Every structure is written in structure tokens, then in C-alpha cells.
Chains A and B, each alone.
Chain A
């Protein structure tokens, strides 16, 4: 087990200087691997492009209902680096705005999923060997019994197709992964000395779960969140690819790939550039996540 098992309370006694030193050491460890730096740079770049899309995008009007038949179906050129689609919208600008939807999707899903997933995992792990563990983990098994994309597709399809509902659909499918991860961590931590001593001192189970066990699970959870940003974005783009996510004329990356695929092979740029954009985002978050995993030595993820 590589989980840090020292008492979390000790960590808070550390002076600010000590903490800064710790941070410095961690950064050193992280930055030794060039791929982690590439990942971090990619993620920062995508976030930057998404936030400042209205300012940076060469043709910001292309993100909405906009038609320019004079410049329709242009192959990549100086004015339109990634070309334009069949109604004259700049692909590059649409990709920048598409990043916004992808990142929103990733963030909202993680915010919805991590707290309940982690809490259930902690409770199941702490109450090892009781009916509580059985109930929680068997329910988790059910949700893990079908690939997340399939159930997400099914849920998204019975709701009205839009970004919000696709986020709900993915969230409903995603929490078991956190439950399972944290359950594994918590069920080993629960037999550590510091948990036993807290119990002997009469600490409440809420205290033990959230103040003693949870702090020791943070690094793997963080690592998984970084990796999952990529996976959620991937699933989100799959949903929008089949038309169950971001709706036209809004520029979802998957939606753009699907729309462009009708015009293959002549106007390949309409679908290929958004497709590559998805790959870049997912790759970025993955490299970052792998870097974090090495840094935290969180091999469980």
C-alpha cells in the first residue's frame, strides 16, 4: 500500500514554510517527466482558449446561428486556418467554443459525481463486513455491469436531448467508479492504528470517516478526477456525436464531427479537426493525470 498513513492532524501542524517546501518537492517530482508538463500545458491551453474564446477566436460569430455562403466549404487557408463548414462558419472558432461545452461537461459531471460516490465508498469501506457494505457494493456492481456509455445513452435518450441532460445521464453512470476506488482505500485504512485509536477515544463514525480516513484518500481521488475529466469529455463527445448532447447550432465537438462526416471525403476538414480537438483534450488530461499519479504515488487509480 502506498497510501500515506500518517495522522492527517500532524500535517496541519506543519508550518507554512514546511508546506511550501513540500509543494516544491512535489512540483520537482511532477516536472521530472516531460510528458506531465506536456499534459499540463495542453490542459492550461485548452482552458485558456475556452475561457477567452469570444476574444481569441478569429470569427467568434461562427459559434451561433450564423451563415456566410460566400465563404462556405473553404479548405484550410490563412483566413480560416481549419477551413469553414458548408454554411461558412469558421471551424477553428467553433472548436474553441466547443472546448467550453466539453470542459463544462467534465466539471459539472465531476462535481455531481465525486461527493456522493466518495461518501458511499467511505461508508461501505468503514462498515466492512456489515449489511451496509453489502448493499452499497452490490448496487455499485449493478451499475458497473453495463458499460457506462450504453446506460448513459439510454438515459440521455429518454430525456430531452441537450447538454444538461447528457450531463445528468453521465453522472448517474459515473459515481460507482469513485465508490469502488474509495471503498478499496477505506477498507484497508479502516484497520490502521490511527483509526483504531480514534475509535478507542470514542470518536464518532462521521469524524472517523471524514476527518481520519478521507484525508488519506485525497491523492488517489484527485488523480482519478484528472483522468476522468478526459474520459467524461470523451463520453460527452460520443453522446453529442449521436445527437444526444449539445444541440446544433451550438458547437459541440462531437456534434461537429457527426455533421462533418456527411461531407467526407471531399470536405474532410469539417470533421477531422474537431475529432483531433477531442483527442488533444483527452490526451492532455490523461498525461496530466498520469503525472499526478506518479507524483502522489497513487497506484490504486
Chain B
């Protein structure tokens, strides 16, 4: 099986998963007791308004028909009207999602970069003090909820030491660069605005780090264990016997095969980051779609809830396909194994 069939099979599988997910989400948005139309217009609206809305939202029809309409609209990017902001949900999401994406992407970069670095250092100095330190840090990182990290970082670096900004994406006195991608760091680079770039980066550090901690710890642990396993393999011994310098062995022959498990886990951890963003954005007052989602959840804004989860699901699945492709490129055993789709 070559890599193209592999990718196609993976994509088809994902489409089915997404379809199933949409059913689950639709189910969630319909198990709620009460009449969605009544909730949308408020308790004091006259009955005919509710009846009209009923027809408009297809609430009179059987559930499978409702699902069909909902899915059809969702595929066209129409998730209905938010009960809270009174605007189309898709517009809200368009506005808020880039902030979340920027934050999680930043966290993902820290996670992968720092995790692999720490894991490599740890494996290279196995059982020395630095290895033990990394292991303790990664253990604590894994078991600490990201909202606890967020609060501790906020308290320590934001409030007590006053090093870092504590909320938002930009300082008040820095004008926002024009929206091109919605990611402030990228936009400010594109428009040649170093002041906004560094300010945005500065704002990203604390929430990004709080989000990245658990994944970072995981990555460090896995990199360390695969690396130290691989260090004992015969091929490394034979390279050493040939007199290849240790640094070259590390970089050219050890790193690539050792990164495969790390990268697979990185995909999963990225998803974890997206869900933890729900809490971290709340703490740092980050105007992203996760904070929007949480507020929607607290106010039972069904259309917005469904949209936020569906988009998260899509992002998660796309990231996992990308990870699979990268892993398949790195590991010929997966790419070439016949009949394995996952």
C-alpha cells in the first residue's frame, strides 16, 4: 500500500467519524428538556412567534428530518442564531476562532519543541541530576490540570512579579494590526509591525505555557523513553564502533526514529490543548472561541455549543490525519504495511 492510498483510506474513515460525531452533537443539543424555540425568544413572547419559529427551525418534524436540516445548514456554514449574542453563530466563530487557534498553535509549538528538547537532554544524561529534574517536572506537568498552571502562572509572573500581561491578546495602547489571517502575530508580521508582533507574543507566553505544560511533560517522557531504548540498539553500537561522533549519531541516526511515538502523541495532546483552552481562556480573559463556547454552555446557547464542538472535532480529526501522514513519512513500516489503515 503506498502513501496515497493510505491517506485516502484515512480520510474516508475520518468522514464517517465526523458524521457520527455530528449525530452525537445533534443528540446532545436535543436531549435538553424544554422548547428551544421558546428559549430563543424568551418567556414573554406571544405564542404565534414561537409557532413561527417552530416552523422555521423545523421543530414540528420528526427527529431524523430535523437532523437532516441541521446537517445541511451546518455543511453550508450556517449554525443558526446565537441565543446570547443574537448574531449568526458562524460569524461569532469567525471572529473568535483565530484567537483560540493562535493560542493553541503556540502551545503546540512549545509543547513539541520544549518536550522533545527536554526528552533528548534527559535521555542523553540518563540517571544524572538533570534527567531526574526533567522527570520530576514532567510528572508534575502531567498530573497538574492546566487551569491550575494558569492560576499559578498568573499569580506568580503576572501579578506578584509583574513581568507579564495578565489578560487579552494585546496591550491597550498597541493598535491592532488589520485582520488578514486573524492571528495577530502573523498579521503584524505581514504588515511589518514589530511593536504589535512582540506585544502579541508577550501576551501569548503565559496562557500558551499553561496550556502546553501537560503535553510538554508527556512529550518529554515519551521522547526520553524511546530514545533511551533506541540508544541500546545494535545499530547505534555499530555506528559508535565506526567512530562516528556522538553528536552526529544523536542528531542524524537517533532523533528521527525516536520521534515517531512522540509525534503520534503530539496529535492527541494538541487535542487536549484545545479542550483545556476552554479553561485557560477563561482565566486569561482571552477572546477566543473556547471562552465563547464556555459562555454558550453556561447560558445553554445550543446552536453555539453545537458549532463550537463540531469545529473542534473537525480540527482534531484534521490534525490527526496530518500526524498520521507525518508518521507514515517517518516510519516506512507503517506506510508499507499491507492492510493497516490506522
Contact = CB atoms under 8 A, between A and B. Distances in A.
Please classify the interface of chain B as helix (H, G, I), strand (E, B), loop, or mixed, using the class held by over half of its residues.
helix
Contact of A147 (B13, B148, B316): B316
A26 B213 CA distance: 34
Interface of B: 13, 16-18, 20-21, 24-25, 28-29, 31-32, 139-140, 142-145, 147-148, 151-152, 154-155, 159-160, 271-272, 274-276, 278-279, 282-283, 293-294, 296-298, 300, 302, 305, 309, 312-313, 316-317
Given A272-B152, A279-B143, A147 B275 contact: yes
Given A139-B20, A283-B139, A150 B278 contact: yes
Given A149-B278, A278-B148, A157 B297 contact: yes
A278 B155 CA distance: 17
A242 B298 contact: yes
A180 to B, nearest CB: 11
13 contacts: A139-B20, A141-B13, A145-B20, A147-B271, A149-B278, A151-B309, A154-B309, A158-B32, A238-B145, A241-B147, A254-B147, A278-B145, A279-B143
In the A-B complex, the 5 residue pairs with the smallest Cβ-Cβ separation, listed nearest first, are A157-B297, A142-B20, A147-B275, A265-B159, A149-B275
A237 interface: yes
A286 B142 contact: yes
B67 to A, nearest CB: 15
Interface in A261-301: 261, 264-265, 268, 271-272, 275-276, 278-279, 282-283, 286
A279 B276 contact: no
Given A145-B18, A264-B154, A279-B140, A243 B298 contact: yes
Contact of B145 (A138, A157, A234, A268): A234
B160 A265 contact: yes
A136 B74 CA distance: 27
A272 B151 contact: yes
B144 A242 contact: no
Given A238-B279, A242-B279, A283-B140, A147 B18 contact: no
A139 B316 CA distance: 17
A105 interface: no
Please classify the interface of chain A as helix (H, G, I), strand (E, B), loop, or mixed, using the class held by over half of its residues.
helix
A139 B29 CA distance: 19
Contacts of B144: 278-279, 282
A123 B279 CA distance: 37
A244 B298 CA distance: 8
A268 B156 CA distance: 10
B147 A158 contact: no
A149 B211 CA distance: 14
Interface residues of A, number: 42
Contact of A257 (B148, B159, B309, B316): B148
Interface in A166-183: none
A154 B143 contact: no
A21 B309 CA distance: 52
B152 A275 contact: yes
B313 A145 contact: yes
A265 B155 contact: yes
B17 A264 contact: no
A272 B155 contact: yes
A272 B204 CA distance: 23
Contacts of A148: 275
Interface string A133-166: 0000011011101111111011111110000000
Contact of A146 (B145, B293, B313): B313
B10 to A, nearest CB: 12
Nearest to A261: B151
Given A146-B313, A154-B305, A242-B298, A230 B282 contact: no
Contacts of B294: 153, 242
A145 B151 contact: no
A18 B250 CA distance: 49
B17 A149 contact: no
A265 B338 CA distance: 58
Pick from B160, B297, B298 the residue with the most CB of A within 10 Å: B297
B21 A145 contact: yes
Pick from B148, B279, B282 the residue with the most CB of A within 10 Å: B148
B21 A142 contact: yes
Contacts of B297: 153-154, 156-157, 242, 244
Contact of B278 (A139, A153, A275): A153
A59 B100 CA distance: 42
A146 B312 contact: yes
